Amino acid sequence: MDLITGQEVARFGKGHTFVSGFVNGQELNVFATEFTDFGTKMNLMGITRFTTTDLKNWTQQRVLSRREGGDENLFNSSVCADDQGYLMAYEYNQPGTPNIWSFQFARSKDLAHWEKINGLHYTDLQEKTACSNPTIRYFAPYYYVMYGGWRWAGPGVHYEYRLDTTKYVTFLARSKDLKTWELSPTRYPMLDPVDGEGINNTDADLFEWDGNTYIYYATGNQADWASIRVAMYPGPMKELFEKHFPENVPMVQFDAVQSKYIYPPSSQ
């Protein structure tokens, strides 16, 4: 879809959902999750990579599959480049605990062949809160991840909110090693609803264009209406992220090895 004219540019990816894009030179990469059932019963098979250089001719290949046994589903994914090649953050349900939304990581040298990183799980096993729909970016020395969480539990209780009806929001965290993460210590979470929006600001993705940063996100009531909205930051993406981490302010951390949040003494 052309964002200016509203005209359809290409149609592809039948049988796929949870889509994200990554531009590699003249090549557009689209990552999406293949499904056979979607609704109250979900059967999400794995993550497919679609590629094109002209928006007309597309190739596709499965690049990441769920665990054998059928106890895992894969959902949203996001890809960025770093100094080791490419990094993917992908959402999954923790086997045996299907309501704990989580994400972990995979690496690639060529965008076609991916290896899951063992031992790192952005999964809140202690408080069992959501860590969902990740969007990953890298600006040395930090990885930044935007992800969905809950207002009423976990790190969500340490923020203020503009509306009493807010339930689901978007957090921002950063890490130098993918193991220890720091959450933004700002007054409000990165995205929370305002007047005229629903109970959530989630499923966010972003890009930079002509010096500005655009964030697309979902809002709605999680039942019978939803809308995609856009917010603009008047500056580059790196600056946007850095401004969410003021110096000398205590921060909530997340340990991806132990799969738990760590709170500074003053916040408990």
Per-residue pLDDT of the chain (268 residues; tens, 9 = 90+): 888 899 999 999 999 999 999 999 999 999 999 988 776 666 788 999 999 999 999 999 999 998 776 678 899 999 999 999 999 999 998 666 656 889 999 999 999 999 999 999 999 999 999 999 999 999 999 999 999 999 999 999 999 999 999 999 999 999 999 999 999 999 999 999 999 999 999 999 999 999 999 999 999 999 999 999 999 999 999 999 999 999 999 999 999 999 999 999 865 5
Q: Given 3-state DSSP classes, what are the helix, strand and coil percentages for the chain, each rounded to the nearest 5?
A: 5, 50, 45
Chain-centre distance for alpha carbon 82: 17
Write down the pTM of the prediction.
0.95
CA–CA separation, 267 and 205 (whole Å): 29
Q: Name the β-bridge partners of 33.
A: 17, 47
Distance CA 183, CA 138 (A): 16
* Domains, the chain: 16-267 (2.115.10.20)
Pull the structure tokens for residue 204.
């966010």
* Cα–Cα dist 257/209, whole Å: 35
